Structure 1
Amino acid sequence: MSFTLATWNINSVRLREALVVKLLGEEAPDVLCLQECKSPVDKIPLEGFRALGYEHIVARGQKGYNGVAILSKIPMVDAGGEDYAALGHARHVAAKLANGVLIHNFYVPAGGDEPDREKNEKFGQKLDYLTQMRDAFHAEAPQKAILVGDLNIAPREDDVWDHKKLLKIVSHTPVEVEHLAQVQEAGNWVDVTRQDIPTGKLYSWWSYRAKDWDAADKGRRLDHIWATGDISSAAHASRVLRAARGWEKPSDHAPVFASFDL
């Protein structure tokens, strides 16, 4: 079975419903994982998605904040959602596809502005969240699984526009990168995007603050697609749909894609 999966921090699924419909209509991934939906589950606008063939959904919602959802053309069942670090946030949902593949969709906390857990509670929450992700994958090794989402960390030097300038900026600090590496190691996860695109600058997020985000190109790769080692070789065709960042009233994130032949 072959399928294409995309992950996208939509920054309000209700506000940007038209952009989701545009993506589904033009790119037609079999599975779309959304983060930062900012909506209770019963308020997610499903009618337009279902009209395009996305009849299956699992989600965890929250009014005005967070929220994750998986839309699929492929039948799937809800496989739960964890509240890591006990934040009371809708940041994780999992689903098992009809082909047996388990998909984890994460929205890791951003971590605030100050990379010091003593001065910034949000940064501590981010590190704790990652630690509990690591421990969960240590406790039960995932198999035939894909992990996607806005992980809010750009781990490699070529995942940011300027490595040295961002070393003390939340999302690229050494402590965050190390925590993410521990999560990856614990689950035997393979970074599918970098497996396919091993070298070169690659971003999925550009700040709203830039007057011309495209020309400035001060991006970061915060959005990821991983697969467990037993299926990572089946992944291919990874790409970032950079053009979506330039759509009308866009999210500050661009969708990331990968295909799997399983």
Structure 2
Amino acid sequence: MPFTIATWNINSVRLRIDLVAKFLKNRRPDVLCLQETKCIDDVFPLKRFQRLGYEHIALNGQKGYHGVAIVSKRPFLSKDIRMFCGKVDSRHISVAFGESAGLAAPLVLHNFYVPAGGDIPDPALNPKFEHKLSFLDEMRDCTPLHAEDGANHILVGDLNVAPHEHDVWSHRQLLNVVSHTPVECEKLLAVQAQGGWIDVARQRIPMDEKVYTWWSYRAADWTVGNRGRRLDHIWVSPALGDKVRDFRILRDARSWERPSDHVPVTAVLDI
């Protein structure tokens, strides 16, 4: 059975709920994972999602900052939230699906918003960067993120690192820019390796091809120069590696009215 999952850093779900609705009406994924929802759970626009057919909703919100959510047309078996670095800052939520969702085997889905890390790539000078590196280390060592043999696991989200040379517009010019520094790339790839994850984008797109999911607000016209980075990821466990039917980045969403600086990323799996 095809199972479509999407991930999108929406940069305020209430501000951009019309854009989310547009995406859901046009693409109809089974599950949408959101990051940077920027609202507490009590004011999350539940009714709007329910009217769109997404009745199953898992929330980990925070006022004005961060926040993650999973909205689904299929029911959950369970929900879980993990804290990292001893901070209650709403950067993770996971759900499990089972037979009630029409799946032959259980599936666990993790949704992450990794800290951005500020502007100075030195943990001694920048506490935000130090937090980011520590967060990635804890992800690497987190046992529930280590895909078990034969288990169906998916990890998605704004991981805030573009780990490969062609995940940024200029590898040379961004080596000392937060999100593509060697230490960040090394740590994110360690999370991937330790968990046994498959990076769906790079499984399907050659390493020498440029791939982006984010374009800065700082550019007056983001299309000029196309200076993007691939910060948004979909990873699957080895058991799902040959189940991926399709993968897409909705680049056009960056041109929608009052857009997020990130665009939706989707994958279709046969499970």
- Give the TM interval when normalised to the shorter protein: over 0.9
Q: What's the counterpart of residue 117 of structure 2?
A: 111
Q: What's the counterpart of residue 133 of structure 2?
A: 127
Whether 2:178 is the aligned partner of 1:174: answer no
Whether 2:176 is the aligned partner of 1:165: answer no
* 8 Å Cα contact 2:254-2:263 kept in structure 1: yes
CA separation in 2, counterparts of 1:30 and 1:139?
22
Counterpart of 2:214 (choices 180, 200, 205) is 205
Question: What is the Cα-based RMSD across aligned positions, in Å?
Answer: 1.2
CA separation in 2, counterparts of 1:138 and 1:172?
26
* 8 Å Cα contact 2:139-2:145 kept in structure 1: no
Q: What's the counterpart of residue 264 of structure 2?
A: 255
CA separation in 2, counterparts of 1:94 and 1:111?
23
Deviation at 1:185, TM superposition (A): 0.9
1:63-74 superposed matches below 5 A: 63-74=63-74
CA separation in 1, counterparts of 2:53 and 2:155?
23
Cα distance, 1:136–1:90 mapped onto 2, change above 3 Å:
same
Q: What's the counterpart of residue 21 of structure 2?
A: 21
Whether 2:190 is the aligned partner of 1:190: answer no
Cα distance, 1:209–1:53 mapped onto 2, change above 3 Å:
same
* 8 Å Cα contact 2:251-2:263 kept in structure 1: yes
Deviation at 1:50, TM superposition (A): 1.1
Percent identity, aligned pairs only? 54
Q: TM-score, normalised by structure 2?
A: 0.94
Deviation at 1:215, TM superposition (A): 2.1
What one-letter code is carried by the residue in structure 1 that aligns with 2:185?
V
* 8 Å Cα contact 1:110-1:126 kept in structure 2: yes
CA separation in 1, counterparts of 2:242 and 2:41?
34
CA separation in 2, counterparts of 1:139 and 1:212?
38
Gap regions ≥5 residues in structure 1: none
Q: TM-score, normalised by structure 1?
A: 0.97
Number of residues paired by the alignment?
262
CA separation in 2, counterparts of 1:38 and 1:78?
23
Deviations 1:100-149 (A, max 9, x none): 11000000000010111000001010011011111113885443100000
What one-letter code is carried by the residue in structure 2 that aligns with 1:151?
L
CA separation in 1, counterparts of 2:197 and 2:35?
20
SS at match of 2:261: coil
* 8 Å Cα contact 1:101-1:144 kept in structure 2: yes
SS at match of 2:77: strand
Deviations 1:175-219 (A, max 9, x none): 000100110011100001111222411100000010110122100
CA separation in 1, counterparts of 2:152 and 2:35?
22
Gap regions ≥5 residues in structure 2: none
